[in-house]
């Protein structure tokens, strides 16, 4: 009991709660917006919107925002040592990386309407997805450096606020345009309009960070200045970006794959059930974010405690994810009836089959941060790529045979094999490095 009280009163716990406020708030705003859109447009059109958002999410995994995870320990160590030039160089590299990746993704995204026509017989879905992809690229240009700066300088309140504002602003435009009668075309345009405003908010946040953070570049520096020997960051950033984005693909791809085999109405049912479970599991997201710097500090200062910290955080993650998923499934039927209406009743039974997914999800709470702390990201990529190569064709066959049940089997299998294999590998690696 004493240890539990110490953990609950620790600075890490307080920062986690602060970040959870913004993260959970953002997830709730997104959920409410999806509910309103779903009720307004109906299952068939909401299925099209879900596929468009999934295509945009798949495209956004190539955005450089994931490079922030690679630069988090670099910037954190520089700030801890008082290395102003190292800190400035890390953020300049991140800014350039995000900008270049954003431009590249937008150029490649022009193919989305043609691909959507080829695979779904619906070019409009690709157009809507492309507009959302442009919005994601624009909003991350300054939002990503501002979020990392908030984390490095322990401005967790600002980080929480930025996380919330990003979703709140965009979803407000989405709902407003849908209710104005523009349908899912208006929803995609709402993301773009909201991204413009998020860009401005991020610029203001960055200026506020610079007033208290020595070494941070100016906004103009992001476009004009070069990082000192930025080549040293390229390989680590690309490896971490690949690892993080493959993990993001696990959440983005199932709906897009389901659209190949399910009707748009069935896609909407799966999307709602899957989204409901991932919503309640969002409580684990802030923990993973903060562990990016926390595990790096432990490794640098007290490496003998790293294995114990990893085991404790993972055990807590599994316990929380298990309890949250079971509760979410049990209350799904009345919640869906109230929020979505009778038209979406078939989504509720799917949440019961997602309980194993929720349990295995908890194994991943500390995986990414520890892979990066141990500099073994390549092993994580190999594990996840193998899971995708083997699991995707099997999952597609399952969807052909069992419909939405096959989609659930696909996503559960991906997470179960990847997380358990990664956890076992890291446990063994930590034992050999003691």
pLDDT digits 0-9 by tens, 86-108: 788 888 888 888 888 888 889 98
Q: Which of 53-57, 145-149, 179-183, 369-373 is least confident?
A: 369-373
Model confidence over 392-434: pLDDT tens digits? 899 889 888 888 889 999 999 998 998 889 888 888 877 765 5
Rounded mean pLDDT, 315-341: 90
pLDDT of 241 above 50: yes
**Whole-number Å distance between alpha carbons of 128 and 419:** 33
Domain boundaries, the chain: 2-432
pLDDT at 329: 93
- Burial class (CB within 10 angstroms; exposed 0-12, middle 13-18, buried 19+) of 114: exposed
**Whole-number Å distance between alpha carbons of 171 and 252:** 18
**Whole-number Å distance between alpha carbons of 75 and 240:** 15
pLDDT of 3 above 60: no
C-alpha 17: how far from chain center: 18
pLDDT of 224 above 70: yes
Are the C-beta atoms of 343 and 35 separated by less than 8 Å?
A: no
341 Rama class: left (phi>0) / alpha (psi -120 to 50) / beta: left
CA distances in angstroms from 43 to 47, 288, 380, listed in the order given: 6, 34, 37
Band (pLDDT 50/70/90 cuts) for residue 316 is confident
- Residues 157-189 as b or e (16 or more Cβ within 10 Å = b): ebbbbbbbbbbbbbbbbbbebbeeeebbbbbbb
Q: The dihedral of CA 305, 311, 314, 315: what is its sign?
A: negative
Three-state helix/strand/coil letters over the chain: CHHHHHHHCCHHHHHHHHHHHHHHHHHHHHHHHHHHHHHHHHHHHHHHHHHHHHHHHHHHCCCHHHHHHHHHHHHHHHHHHCCHHHHHHHHHHHHHHHHHHHHHHHHHHCCHHHHHHHHHCCHHHHHHHHHHHHHHHHHHHHHHHHHHHHHHCCCHHHHHHHHHHHHHHHHHHHHHHHHHHHHHHHHHHHHHHHHHHHHHHHHHHHHHHHHHCCCCCCHHHHHHCCCCCCHHHHHHHHHHHHHHHHHHHHHHHHHHHHHHHCCHHHHHHHHHHHHHHHHHHHHHHHHHHHHHHHHHHHHHHCHHHHHHHHHHHHHHHHHHHHHHHHHHHHCHHHHHHHHCCHHHHHHHHHHHHCHHHHHHHHHHCCHHHHHHHCCCHHHHHHHHHHHHHHHHHHHHHHHHHHCHHHHHHHHHHHHHHHHHHHHHHHHHHHHHCC
pLDDT at 129: 92
pLDDT of 81 above 70: yes
pLDDT at 7: 44
Mean pLDDT of the chain: 83
| Phi and psi, residue 62, nearest 5° | -90, 0
Place of tokens 């929380």: 320
**Whole-number Å distance between alpha carbons of 31 and 39:** 12
**Whole-number Å distance between alpha carbons of 350 and 365:** 24
Which residues, in sequence order, are CB contacts of 35 under 8 Å at separation 6+? 339, 340
> Considering the entire predicted model, what is its pTM?
0.76
């Amino acid at each position: 009991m004493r240890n539990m009280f110490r953990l609950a009163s620790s600075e890490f716990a307080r920062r986690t709660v602060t970040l959870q406020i913004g993260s959970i708030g953002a997830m709730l705003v997104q959920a409410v917006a999806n509910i309103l859109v779903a009720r307004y447009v109906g299952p068939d059109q909401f299925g099209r919107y879900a596929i468009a958002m999934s295509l945009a999410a798949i495209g956004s995994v190539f955005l450089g925002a994931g490079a922030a995870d690679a630069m988090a320990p670099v910037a954190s160590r520089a700030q801890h040592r008082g290395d102003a030039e190292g800190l400035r160089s890390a953020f300049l590299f991140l800014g350039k990386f995000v900008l270049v990746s954003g431009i590249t993704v937008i150029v490649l995204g022009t193919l989305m309407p043609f691909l959507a026509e080829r695979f779904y017989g619906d070019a409009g879905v690709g157009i809507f997805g492309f507009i959302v992809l442009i919005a994601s690229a624009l909003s991350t240009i300054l939002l990503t450096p501002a979020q990392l700066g908030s984390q490095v300088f322990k401005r967790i309140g600002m980080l929480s606020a930025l996380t919330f504002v990003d979703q709140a602003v965009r979803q407000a435009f989405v709902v407003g345009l849908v209710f104005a009668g523009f349908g899912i075309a208006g929803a995609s345009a709402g993301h773009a309009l909201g991204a413009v405003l998020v860009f401005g908010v991020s610029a203001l946040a960055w200026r506020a960070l610079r007033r208290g953070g020595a070494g941070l570049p100016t906004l103009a520096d992001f476009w004009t200045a070069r990082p000192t020997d930025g080549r040293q960051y390229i390989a680590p950033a690309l490896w971490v970006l690949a690892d993080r984005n493959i993990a993001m693909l696990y959440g983005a791809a199932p709906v897009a794959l389901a659209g190949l085999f399910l009707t748009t109405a069935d896609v909407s049912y799966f999307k709602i059930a899957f989204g409901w479970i991932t919503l309640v599991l969002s409580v684990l997201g802030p923990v993973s974010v903060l562990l990016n710097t926390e595990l790096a500090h432990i490794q640098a200062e007290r490496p003998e405690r790293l294995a114990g910290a990893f085991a404790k955080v993972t055990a807590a993650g599994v316990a929380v994810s298990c309890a949250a998923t079971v509760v979410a499934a049990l209350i799904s039927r009345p919640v869906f009836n109230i929020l979505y209406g009778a038209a979406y009743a078939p989504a509720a039974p799917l949440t019961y089959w997602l309980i194993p997914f929720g349990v295995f999800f908890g194994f991943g709470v500390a995986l990414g941060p520890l892979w990066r702390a141990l500099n073994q990201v390549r092993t994580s990529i190999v594990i996840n790529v193998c899971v995708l190569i083997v699991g995707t064709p099997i999952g597609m066959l399952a969807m052909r045979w069992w419909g939405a049940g096959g989609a659930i089997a696909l996503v559960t299998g991906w997470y179960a094999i990847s997380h358990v294999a990664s956890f076992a590998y890291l446990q063994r690696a930590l034992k050999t490095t003691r």
